[in-house]
């Protein structure tokens, strides 16, 4: 009988890792980082018999520890979509750059991750050793994100990773007509949340943007480099932001744009994305930043919670003019500058406190399914699977457990390093 061990992402979000063993073989799904000082990772797994590592998507809470495993043996292969491969390498290299030597790996180890990656498209089944096989299905979270379906010992186990069944202007929604599974390991991020309709959020975002621009202000949109920045660009393209208002893109989002142009098969509309990228002005240096601030328009720049990056440069120049707007487009984790800004309109940025006169608004463009979408997708998986709930705060894990049990499904909230027979 196969065994499943939960290495992390239990009753919290961070350092995801799931380890399946059967006889003398094993496979690993995700191996992420928990940010802190210092960053922490799941406990190291035995690599003897490890047939491969499957990655759901590029975000560092799922991928940030991969070099620790891959560098152990050049025979270990990583399986993920081509888009996830390239985005993961970009994020790992950036993490090394900003960590200033606090990570237990270096750029040479990241090169090994790329070298040992076997890029795998959706719907393609890969045999791993004698006992395992693996298939990736679209997860709809960010471009290239996947649900990992593993077959072992006659059972089929689905790892949803982060998923979103609702399509966006950037990505198609997750595959909903999934095959039969016996076990499902699922995220529970927004098990207590109902999202407004996508169209309602997009229209409200555009209304706030146009209103700001028409009164002579500049719009700063701090946004995640992977996914959210590109979605904002696509929304501005869809709603035909007048050409007299320039759009600027700064930070790592520029490199993400380049990667996604190379992988159009993971986009909702490659043509629309190409138009959005063509219209945007790339910011290369401080001279470009000064021009963007002086000329006005829409500035899209990481970081999404105002924790750093080029968004600090713009914030300091734009915060004190009531004609300007700062529009936040994601959940703001408590304790981050973005959350403080929303709550009080004062915020500490770069060790200095600012009273903000610019208009501050939030439009939450979630890349996760909400509680209704999550429950609908999970309960539609054929086979009456047993559910294991991870990647959520304790209250979210418990809420999803209660919802599943109300409809007659068996659900468990595992603890870190807990092992189950499946």
Q: Is 393 exposed, middle or buried (0-12, 13-18, 19+ CB in 10 A)?
A: middle
**Domain boundary pick from 362, 377, 408:** 362
Which CATH number does the domain housing residue 318 bear?
3.40.50.10890
Read off the pLDDT of residues 5-51 as tens digits, 9 standing for 90 and up.
999 999 999 999 999 999 999 999 999 999 888 899 999 999 999 99
CB 78, CB 53: distance < 8 Å = yes
pLDDT recorded at residue 139: 98
> How sure is the predictor about 334, in pLDDT bands with cuts at 50, 70 and 90?
confident
Read off the pLDDT of residues 85-113 as tens digits, 9 standing for 90 and up.
999 999 999 999 988 888 999 999 999 99
**Domain boundary pick from 362, 390, 405:** 362
- The range of the structural domain enclosing residue 65 comes to 3-193+367-421
Read off the pLDDT of residues 102-150 as tens digits, 9 standing for 90 and up.
899 999 999 999 999 999 999 999 999 999 999 999 999 999 999 999 9
Read off the pLDDT of residues 377-392 as tens digits, 9 standing for 90 and up.
999 999 999 999 999 9
Which CATH number does the domain housing residue 159 bear?
3.60.15.10
- 309: pLDDT strictly greater than 90: no
Look up the pTM and report it: 0.96
Nearest to 116 by CA among 58, 69, 159: 69
Asked if residue 415 and residue 277 are part of one domain, the reply reads: no
CB 345, CB 312: distance < 8 Å = no
Asked if residue 105 and residue 53 are part of one domain, the reply reads: yes
**Angstrom distance (rounded) from CA 12 to CA 245:** 41
Read off the pLDDT of residues 44-71 as tens digits, 9 standing for 90 and up.
999 999 999 999 999 999 999 999 999 9
């Amino acid at each position: 009988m196969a065994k499943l061990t939960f290495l992390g992402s239990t009753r919290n979000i961070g350092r995801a890792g799931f380890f399946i063993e059967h006889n003398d073989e094993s496979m690993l799904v995700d191996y992420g980082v928990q940010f802190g000082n210092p960053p922490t990772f799941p406990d190291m797994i035995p690599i003897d018999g490890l047939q491969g590592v499957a990655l759901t998507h590029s975000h560092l809470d799922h991928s940030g520890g991969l070099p620790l495993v891959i560098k152990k043996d050049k025979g270990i292969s990583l399986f993920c979509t081509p888009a996830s491969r390239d985005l993961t390498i970009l994020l790992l290299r950036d993490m090394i750059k900003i960590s200033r030597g606090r990570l237990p790996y270096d750029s040479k180890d990241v090169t090994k991750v790329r070298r040992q990656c076997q890029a795998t498209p959706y719907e393609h089944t890969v045999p791993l050793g004698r006992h395992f096989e693996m298939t990736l299905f679209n997860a709809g979270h960010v471009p290239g994100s996947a649900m990992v379906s593993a077959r072992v010992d006659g059972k089929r186990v689905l790892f949803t990773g982060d998923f979103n069944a609702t399509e966006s202007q950037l990505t198609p929604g997750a595959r909903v007509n999934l095959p039969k599974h016996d076990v499902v390991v699922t995220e529970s991020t927004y098990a207590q949340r109902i999202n407004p309709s996508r169209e309602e959020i997009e229209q409200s975002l555009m209304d706030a943007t146009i209103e700001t621009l028409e009164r002579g202000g500049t719009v700063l949109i701090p946004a995640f480099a992977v996914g959210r920045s590109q979605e904002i660009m696509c929304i501005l393209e869809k709603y035909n932001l007048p050409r007299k208002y320039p759009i600027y893109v700064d930070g790592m989002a520029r490199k993400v744009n380049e990667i996604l142009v190379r992988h159009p098969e993971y986009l909702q509309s490659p043509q629309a994305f190409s138009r959005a990228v063509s219209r945007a002005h790339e910011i290369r240096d401080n001279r470009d930043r000064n021009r963007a601030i002086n000329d006005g328009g829409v500035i899209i720049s990481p970081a999404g919670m105002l924790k750093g990056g080029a968004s600090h440069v713009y914030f300091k120049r734009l915060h004190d003019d009531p004609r300007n707007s700062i529009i936040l487009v994601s959940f703001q984790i408590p304790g981050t500058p973005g959350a403080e800004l929303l709550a009080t309109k004062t915020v500490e940025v770069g060790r200095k406190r600012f009273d903000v006169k610019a208009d501050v608004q939030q439009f939450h463009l979630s890349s996760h399914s909400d509680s209704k979408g999550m429950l609908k997708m999970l309960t539609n998986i054929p086979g009456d699977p047993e559910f294991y709930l991870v990647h959520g705060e304790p209250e979210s894990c418990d809420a999803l457990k209660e919802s599943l049990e109300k409809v007659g499904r068996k659900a468990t909230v595992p603890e870190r390093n807990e092992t189950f027979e499946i």
